[in-house]
Each structure stands twice: as C-alpha cells, then as structure tokens.
Structure 1
Amino acid sequence: MTKRDYFAEIQELRIRNPERKGSFDAMLYRLEPLQKVTNDLLKKRKLSSNDLELLRYVPVGAIACIEGYYKGLVRDLIDFGSPYRENIVNLREIKPTLEGLVGLHGGKATLGEFVSHFVGISNVEDIERYMSAILGTEFLKDLKTQTGLAEKVFSGVSRAFELRHIVVHELAPKARATAQQASEYVMWAFFLLMATERYLQGVLEHEESGA
C-alpha cells in the first residue's frame, strides 16, 4: 500500500483554495447558493425527478460547509497561537511522526494546517470534541449559554449529518429530504455557524484584551 503524503495533500488543498479566506466567509460562499436552491424548490408546485434527486444532496452540501468551517477554525485557532497552539496536546488521537516534524520544520505546512488535516467531523459530537480540546472549554455548553442557541438547531444539524451519511455511503433511492426539510437543514447549519462565529469573536477579543 502506498504511504500517504500528508504534506502533498495539504498542498493540494492550498491549490483548491488559493485564497485563504476566513472560515466564515468561505462557508457563506458555499451555503448561500444552497439556501437559494432550496428556496426555489419551495416555490414549485410540483417537483420534477431532477428536483427530487437534487434534494438528496442538500444535506451533503450543508454538512460540507459545517465540516469545512470547523476544520478551518481548528487550523486558524492553532495558528493564532497561545493558548490554542498548546491545547493540541488534548487531541490524543493526533500523533506527529518524524516525517511530520521534518515537514513542519521545513515549512511545508503550518502547524494549524497539519493538525486540522487529521480532523474528521462526522457528527455534532465530533464538533464538541475538537472544539472543546482546542478552546479548553465545554464548547457546546458554552455556545448555548453565550448565544442562546436552541436545542432544535443541534437536532436539525444531527439529522442532516445522518442523511448526508446515508446519501454518500448507500444507494437508498428514497432517502431524501423534502424541500421544506432541506431548507431547514441549511438554515440550522447557518444558525450553528453564525452562533459559533459570534461566540469566537467574544473569546478572541477577550484573549487580545488580556482580560
């Protein structure tokens, strides 16, 4: 089996994303068209077979936005510096190899890029695990407390994760959201990421003020 070259994969990511936008801006670039598509489908009196097939992939796109956003946050928080850089020791499953250390020393990737490359987000629990580790907090608990984010947002996002998994890994021809559900999945994703952005702005402002 050919050994993976993680730094080559990171370079490919840089090529696919030539402008290192903030995670929130990059997420909006993907999420806004999804919202427009679902809104257009909601206006139709009757959906075509193509429309129904398109609905299968709305959760896939919404979850891609969520995963990309949080992986970008992990990267950016680590590259921001202390205390987040030091908190990577909380990610016990990520173990640097000698090749990895040599690559980092040679400037092939930032520490944030390297660590976030191993972050996989398959459910809400993964968001909690990675963000809590990097921030050194109980992330979702703090997020709910600070922003008032409703429990139905997490339930909706969890269902989107489930549908995404089914669509990507199974044939399941009848597994699809309704136009209303698809619109809600996009909305829940936006609410979650918007709340996270507001929460982190407060955290980083607190760090920079030295309070």
Structure 2
Amino acid sequence: MTARVGVITFPGTLDDVDAARAVRLSGAEAVSLWHADADLKGVDAVIVPGGFSYGDYLRCGAIAKFAPVMKSVVEAAEGGMPVLGICNGFQVLCEAGLLPGALTRNAGLHFVCRDVWLEVANNTTAWTTRFELGADILVPLKSGEGRYVASEAVLDELEGDGRVVFRYRDNPNGSMRDIAGISSANGRVVGLMPHPEHATEALTGPSDDGLGLFLSVLDAVLAAA
C-alpha cells in the first residue's frame, strides 16, 4: 500500500510545493487538493501548508476556513484522519475549530525569519512518533503572526492532557508557554508555526529533522490499513 497525503492549495499558498516534496521524500504519494473543491480524492491524510491564504485579509486563516475543501477536512478530521497545519495552515486549523487558541502578531511586531530549535514535547501523535521525547529539532520559522495565545484554562488543559507537541527552546515570537505546536485531543490533528517541510534534506535546509513528521504519519496510515 502507498499512503496518499493531500496537500491543499489556497490563493496565496506558497509552501504547497515544498510540502508535497516532503511527502514524496517520506515515501508517500502527494495529492494536490484545490481550495474550491470539496473532494479529498480518497487521501489518507491532509496537510494545510503555509503561505498567505486569501492574502491574510481579516485574520490569518479566517477566510480559508470557509473554503469547500476545509469543510471536508473538518469532517475527515472528526472521523480520525491525520491533519497537519503548518504556519498559515496552523492558523487555518485554529480558525476552523480543529485546534484551540489563536495565532497573533509576534511580540515586537516584527516578521521573524530564522532557524529555530524546538523541543519535541509529545511523540505519541500521528505526526511525531519518529521522534524521541525531549529531542531537539532544527527547523525554519518565518511568520509575522506566529504568537500562540489562549486562555489560561485552555493552556492548562493543553499542558495537562499532553497536547503541547513542540516548544521553542528560545521563544522568538512571544508565544505563551513557549508553545510552537499543539495537537487535538486524539493526537490526529497537529498544528505548528515552524516549517518542517523546509528541513527535509541537509543540503537545502538547516537539517533533515523535519522529515520525521512526514515519516511518522506514513507509519500511522500504514498501521491503520
């Protein structure tokens, strides 16, 4: 069986090609999904990639959540399909209600573009089983609205349930409790601000650490087959 992973393209998406390449490097088949088409084409998992969907008008991801493809993604995620949101994709998943909290302007109001070290805080999600718990991974971050915020009650719930998946070692954007990525309650939906798809080969990225997410979901899909 060859796992099929869908990669969505919205107007303004710019990291879909890199996400699809990361999927192929993991050994899965990358399937292009169009924002205006509700058909998920029978994929086994979905990636909502980074960029500036619909120009980031209103709030980042606020318009994308209404796209026909996202209605299908929400339904599929509620049925247990693995979904990964990267950067703008993380924002879209929060806006769509698949993940709690929100992403706001970075502390200092500057766009941050640099490689960052992340701690793997949960290696039991569908996207993180290939990592050692507590491992450090090096991936790029590039966002102006990447500061994760939520109420203290939500933050406590995320911490208590082990749903903080990645933490910044050196918090570059003021995210509450150093949170770089979180998961749904069942661990099937994960969102993070840094870009693992830009860290899949040592030649072109700061590391190949990001490939672990794509290998992990391949394992999850094959285990469920």
Could you say which TM-score interval applies, normalised by the shorter chain? under 0.3
More helix by share: 1
More strand by share: 2
- Ranked by relative contact order (alpha carbons within 8 Å, sequence separation 6 or more), the top structure is 1
TM-score of the pair, normalised by structure 2: 0.26
TM-score of the pair, normalised by structure 1: 0.27
**Greater gyration radius:** 1
